[in-house]
Amino acid sequence: MAHDHSHSSGSRRRLAIVFGIVLLIFVFQVIGSIMTGSLALLIDTGHNSVDLIGIGIALFAATLVRKPPKGQKTWGFRRAEVLAAGAQATLLLGLGVYSLIEGIRRFFVPPEVPGPELMFFGVVGLLGNIVSIIILSSSKEQSLNLKAAFLEVIADALGSVAVILAAVSIWLFDWTRADAVAALFIAALIVPRAFSILKETGSILLEVAPRELDLDRVKMHIEGVEHVQEVHDLHVTRIDSNLPVLTAHVVLADECFYDGHAPRILIALQECLAEHFKVAIEHSTFQFDRAKDAAQETHTHT
């Protein structure tokens, strides 16, 4: 558990720093949106505002996750990060849809946008995003929250690049539609990523097994342990993005319940699950059944 707390503390620190950077970028871009009237910068500002809310939620969730289990909350607040990522993705999806609609409208009726000012605010945003990417890059796989935040700042950086390219096009070539094109590009970044995060959070909430885990191989490995005759009622779910949990009924030869084999088999099963798979399963619960009792069962589970 100390290891988990260390990761959680590191996550909170990184998220807090990135929150501060995104807040500064957001303030600059609000000013820039008002000064330039640029849709691309406005959408990027909206994107940053959603990131700001999302990273704030993620920061709050990272704090909740550290709370120990208590009372009926047997897993504590481990699932808070999943709910936070889902809320963040929902906000992103709404922003992406708005960006597509407004970008198409402005493509046909392009407003006047000052290129040099747009360039300045685009560069400021890009520099802030690069710093955030560096901070999160080493820890993005530690949790769904950090992964979502990392993807956010990557998309923000690409959005800032789009704003800069639009500014160059307007400034040097007087192509006013570049602003709408940049806004549509940013929207194209936002929508697929929002769906990706929603899919991941949905699979956890629906208790779908991790896609990296082949359940047939898991069953084969368990049945390969000496004295194990059969495995049924095998379930693998995730409490959060980093905590897979397995439960199973394991049928043992009858004599294992009398000759002291059962405890050794339990240790062998737990070591097998923790070491043999890409997704290490360190939380497992087994019910041992006698062969003669299992033979009398009349129900089957798929």
pLDDT at position 50, please? 76
Q: Where are the domains of the chain?
A: 8-206, 215-290
Asked if the 215-290 domain carries CATH number 3.30.70.1350, the reply is yes
CB 49 within 8 A of CB 19: no
- CA gap 144, 80 in Å, rounded: 11
C-alpha span between 111 and 180 (Å, rounded): 9
| Structure confidence by residue, pLDDT tens digits, 187-237 | 888 888 888 888 988 988 888 888 888 888 889 888 888 888 889 889 999
> Amino acid letter at 12?
R
Torsion angles phi and psi, residue 228, rounded to 5: -85, 125
Q: Which CATH fold topology does 8-206 show?
A: Alpha-lytic protease prodomain-like (1.20.1510)
Q: Residue 168 class from Cβ within 10 Å (0-12 exposed, 13-18 middle, 19+ buried)?
A: middle
| Tens of pLDDT, residues 107-162 | 888 888 888 888 998 899 899 989 988 888 776 666 666 776 787 788 788 888 98
Q: Is the entire prediction scored with pTM above 0.75?
A: no
The average pLDDT across 12-16 equals 79
What is residue 287's three-state secondary structure?
strand
Q: What are 44-95's pLDDT values in tens digits?
A: 888 788 778 777 877 777 777 677 777 777 777 778 778 877 887 888 888 8
